[in-house]
Chain A
């Protein structure tokens, strides 16, 4: 974003301190706009016609360095790009790159249905909610407009996820666009040969488009040309190559593109970047299952971190997807917001005086993991969350943030002893080292639980006899 001072923003706000946005003053709202924790549309007054000029000015001032593009419509629409920094600690990385999975127009109906349904329904629980997949990319392998249109129709009927239509043949693209023209799909791709015809399509259907060239001069030329022609919803594909020196130069191109846009202010390339880990199968196709998985995973890691804004995959093996969605989440977590939870004593289910008392730290991930393991296994219990400065069990035992003194304090502050009859505390397995000293400090009987809360159900069976 171009501005750094809240004052610059404040000058264009109504200045009435109406509090509609949830902030006490317009100045406070201005600083939230600068760090992107609030959006301009929360200001009701500025949406009024009389502020049109100020609104437009602020929109421009507050727009991110990298253009933000929306693909799809409705709840499932995805935001691509919109980044402001090269390193996440400088602010945060903003829009998680949507993950798109491919189908082709030569797959049979069964395969298409299976793949699309798998992607649409995929979910993995993590830190209090579910991680999901985002898009379907439809590749034309047949190069036949009619076949492609049929395939797009099939996919459209199966899912609400946003689509990418993939072909270098403008006739094929047009046939597909005609089927989903009201769904705002992404068109892939214009290149050096087809750009004029593709530009006509983009103008006709008013959809975002990918520009493809591994030659950065040509890519910048394509982008400049499209902007001149009146189109600015562009995504850049600098080419993904799977191995060796070509892989090295792929890495280099992604970084140079983003550096040029953000550090050097090069507007020619200030657009989101698309990475294609699916290309890994050009070299791994004939190899065994694991080699295919690894080859696509390497590209996924490199392009998730440096600086893919949208990624297209071929491999839908669950063990390939699982680490990828966690990496994306981790890298795009806002480093400014604390991931710790409030310490205290929490009831899981409907505990009584015979229920076990578990202990964990206030690292958000640990807390949510233990909580979901207790709840999903219907274990009525108390969970004592100790303030470990938001550090996980293993590290806080090593680093001293979790210690018998802190545990005693927490027990006293929450009156945990009064809730139970058995005077027994269950420590996490990774805090086993603290068991003796905790017994001494608290005067409670200490049991050592499993090292992973996923095994609590089994542990209860083996170690916890409820005395009625």
Chain B
């Protein structure tokens, strides 16, 4: 190897190379190396225990000083490291600079020019696994007769030990689940949605039945919106009849939602929890701006799960979860989070990244965030692109028919959030429900699908 090449390869050393090397040789720590002042490295004579470098030391070396100097010192360090390794009897492959180099052919970059080859250079593709510290809690929704409820079956969500659909990294025991929205009174809906429900909107029981039978909902959510003082102000006692109707109409697990009114919801949800005692519903939701303690206590007392809802803020989510755990003493396997869903085009980027960060933190060991997540995917229908007949902007190109655009907007809001970690989707359009279920199941290997050969796709599409 020429002197010039050697110089370049030495300079290409970085923190990653060092980590890779340490892993490669199964060495967790090198003892006995200290750093003084800026970048003076002292290596104590080999003393049985080997040599030790902490990550902080490496970091400080890399960050502290001139690049050239730092890299020079690190590469020196490695020569020493190589030496001490051979002393410990690790075999032949002393890590010389050749095994540290980055695989890009530096010569090719230095001396461009075409050098045809006779045959392919064989490479083996390698990739690391994500190693995580914590699993997401597994939550059971619904209770059968054996457990004191009346549901036909239970549904489990969460429990995963890897990022969403990264089955190669760890176990993903449960698929995402869809719950269809049912309201306790007729409400105004986008036309593309309304056509599917207008025959059942007068009766929550019929509505729930249709959602499950015809549209294959895994669950239904009964929203008690008529309780809102600004809508009908239905008294809690009367409103919860809709919960009983739904429980009788279908035997899937259910979610019970309030109206979102911070004054009224605690009373309404408490009453609802009481009439559904033992059914292990999901009570939606406890929010920092309302009496979360009362709602949490009701969910706990009557044997339900609680939805912990915050607005696009991971720290608030952690704080509310902590309150539910510490103050309400909600069992860990009975909390689901709703970190808020914003529609495609209207803040989906925040919702996506907030959820992705929550899940990364959870798997990384944050036990105040390792709960399954729920998404109000129905929010997609708030986007004008989902429901408007055509663009209000004359400059825009044609938006296309809203009959198709609407459900696609809901799919485009839900599926990205599935990739961010959502376990439970609250949805509306039957087509969006079907596509979301099929796609998430396909990503978990649950659907065989049609096999195709793409080796000649250019001519065949």
A and B from one complex: yes
Interface residues, chain A, with chain B CB atoms under 8 Å away? 2-5, 7-8, 11-12, 61, 87-89, 102, 118, 121-126, 130, 139-141, 143, 166-168, 188, 191-192, 195-196, 199-200, 203, 214, 216-225, 227-232, 239-248, 251-252, 255-257, 259-260, 263-270, 276, 278-279, 281-283, 289-290, 293-294, 297-298, 301-302, 305-306, 314, 317-324, 326-327, 329-331, 333, 335, 363, 365, 369, 372-373, 376-377, 391-392, 394-395, 398-400, 432-433, 452, 454, 457
State whether A294 and B112 are in contact (beta carbons under 8 Å apart), knowing that A266-B103, A331-B349 are contacts in the complex. Answer: no
Contacts of A130 in B (CB 8 A): 395
**Using an 8 Å CB-CB cutoff, how does the interface string of B415-447 with A read, 1 for contact, 0 for none?**
110010000000000010001000100111101
The answer, yes or no, to whether B92 is at the interface (CB within 8 Å) is: no
Contact (Cβ within 8 A) B20 A260:
no
Contact (Cβ within 8 A) B411 A294:
yes
Contacts of B456 in A (CB 8 A): 168
Residues of B83-134 contacting chain A, CB below 8 A: 102-105, 108-109, 112-117, 120-128, 130
Contacts of A221 in B (CB 8 A): 120-123
State whether A282 and B461 are in contact (beta carbons under 8 Å apart), knowing that A228-B117, A232-B109, A267-B103 are contacts in the complex. Answer: yes
9 closest pairs, A vs B, by CB?
A244-B449, A319-B400, A318-B400, A243-B449, A216-B125, A203-B114, A319-B405, A454-B392, A323-B412
Which residue of the partner chain B has the closest CB to A372? B393
Closest chain-A Cβ to B50's Cβ sits at a distance in Å of 25
Contact (Cβ within 8 A) B448 A244:
yes
Whole-angstrom CA separation of A77 from B243 in the bound complex: 58
Which residue of the partner chain B has the closest CB to A263? B128
Contacts of B126 in A (CB 8 A): 260, 264, 266
The answer, yes or no, to whether B55 is at the interface (CB within 8 Å) is: no
Whole-angstrom CA separation of A230 from B108 in the bound complex: 5
Further contacts, 16 of them, CB under 8 A, given A290-B431, A326-B385:
A143-B459, A230-B108, A232-B104, A245-B442, A248-B442, A264-B126, A264-B128, A266-B103, A293-B408, A298-B411, A302-B415, A320-B408, A330-B349, A333-B349, A395-B342, A454-B388
- Of B219-227, B234-242, B246-254, B350-358, the one contacting chain A is B350-358
Q: Which listed residue, A245, A294, A330, A392, touches B344 by the CB 8 Å rule?
A: A330
Contact (Cβ within 8 A) B384 A452:
yes
Whole-angstrom CA separation of A166 from B65 in the bound complex: 49
Contacts of A123 in B (CB 8 A): 395-397
The answer, yes or no, to whether B148 is at the interface (CB within 8 Å) is: no
State whether A398 and B260 are in contact (beta carbons under 8 Å apart), knowing that A268-B123, A279-B461 are contacts in the complex. Answer: yes
**Using an 8 Å CB-CB cutoff, how does the interface string of B293-317 with A read, 1 for contact, 0 for none?**
0000000000000000001100000
Which residue of the partner chain A has the closest CB to B107? A228
Whole-angstrom CA separation of A355 from B416 in the bound complex: 42
Which residue of the partner chain B has the closest CB to A191? B455
Q: Which listed residue, A121, A232, A245, A457, touches B448 by the CB 8 Å rule?
A: A245
Contact (Cβ within 8 A) A281 B442:
no
Listed by A's residue number, 15 A-B pairs whose Cβ atoms lie within 8 Å are A5-B63, A87-B353, A126-B345, A141-B459, A220-B123, A241-B452, A244-B447, A248-B443, A263-B128, A276-B457, A317-B400, A319-B402, A319-B405, A433-B230, A452-B384
Whole-angstrom CA separation of A302 from B418 in the bound complex: 10
The answer, yes or no, to whether B378 is at the interface (CB within 8 Å) is: no
Residue among A203, A321, A330 having the largest count of chain B Cβ atoms under 10 Å: A330
Contacts of A200 in B (CB 8 A): 114, 116
Interface residues, chain B, with chain A CB atoms under 8 Å away? 14, 16-17, 20, 62-68, 70, 102-105, 108-109, 112-117, 120-128, 130, 165-168, 230, 260, 289, 311-312, 340, 342, 344-349, 352-353, 356-357, 360, 382, 384-385, 388, 391-402, 404-405, 408-409, 411-412, 415-416, 419, 431, 435, 439, 442-445, 447-452, 454-461
Q: Which listed residue, B357, B412, B435, touches A89 by the CB 8 Å rule?
A: B357
Whole-angstrom CA separation of A290 from B434 in the bound complex: 13
Contact (Cβ within 8 A) A399 B289:
yes
- What is the predominant secondary structure among interface residues of chain B facing chain A? loop
Contact (Cβ within 8 A) A318 B398:
yes
- What is the predominant secondary structure among interface residues of chain A facing chain B? helix
Closest chain-B Cβ to A185's Cβ sits at a distance in Å of 15
Contact (Cβ within 8 A) A265 B412:
no
Residue among B109, B391, B393 having the largest count of chain A Cβ atoms under 10 Å: B393
State whether A293 and B116 are in contact (beta carbons under 8 Å apart), knowing that A228-B121, A323-B385, A330-B348 are contacts in the complex. Answer: no
Whole-angstrom CA separation of A257 from B396 in the bound complex: 37
Contact (Cβ within 8 A) A230 B115:
yes
Contacts of A305 in B (CB 8 A): 352, 416, 419
Which residue of the partner chain B has the closest CB to A430? B382
Q: Which listed residue, B356, B419, B452, B461, touches A278 by the CB 8 Å rule?
A: B461
Contacts of B17 in A (CB 8 A): 265
Which residue of the partner chain B has the closest CB to A432? B230
Contact (Cβ within 8 A) A391 B311:
yes
Q: Which listed residue, A247, A269, A329, touches B442 by the CB 8 Å rule?
A: A247
Closest chain-A Cβ to B448's Cβ sits at a distance in Å of 5
Which residue of the partner chain B has the closest CB to A281? B461
State whether A322 and B454 are in contact (beta carbons under 8 Å apart), knowing that A232-B108, A365-B346, A395-B340 are contacts in the complex. Answer: no
Whole-angstrom CA separation of A251 from B165 in the bound complex: 9
Contacts of A243 in B (CB 8 A): 442, 447, 449-450, 452
Contact (Cβ within 8 A) B109 A330:
no
Closest chain-A Cβ to B178's Cβ sits at a distance in Å of 16
State whether A301 and B415 are in contact (beta carbons under 8 Å apart), knowing that A251-B165, A265-B102, A267-B104 are contacts in the complex. Answer: yes
Contact (Cβ within 8 A) B451 A217:
no
Q: Which listed residue, B114, B445, B457, touches A229 by the CB 8 Å rule?
A: B114
State whether A246 and B397 are in contact (beta carbons under 8 Å apart), knowing that A7-B63, A230-B114, A333-B349 are contacts in the complex. Answer: no
Closest chain-A Cβ to B108's Cβ sits at a distance in Å of 5
Contact (Cβ within 8 A) A319 B408:
yes
Closest chain-B Cβ to A23's Cβ sits at a distance in Å of 20
Contact (Cβ within 8 A) A199 B116:
yes
Contact (Cβ within 8 A) A395 B312:
yes
Contact (Cβ within 8 A) B125 A245:
no
Whole-angstrom CA separation of A141 from B167 in the bound complex: 37
Contact (Cβ within 8 A) B397 A139:
no
Contact (Cβ within 8 A) B356 A266:
no
Contact (Cβ within 8 A) A220 B289:
no
Contact (Cβ within 8 A) A268 B116:
no
Contact (Cβ within 8 A) B123 A323:
no
Whole-angstrom CA separation of A214 from B457 in the bound complex: 13
Residue among A276, A301, A452 having the largest count of chain B Cβ atoms under 10 Å: A301
State whether A246 and B452 are in contact (beta carbons under 8 Å apart), knowing that A220-B124, A319-B408, A433-B230 are contacts in the complex. Answer: yes
Closest chain-B Cβ to A55's Cβ sits at a distance in Å of 15
Contact (Cβ within 8 A) B20 A265:
yes
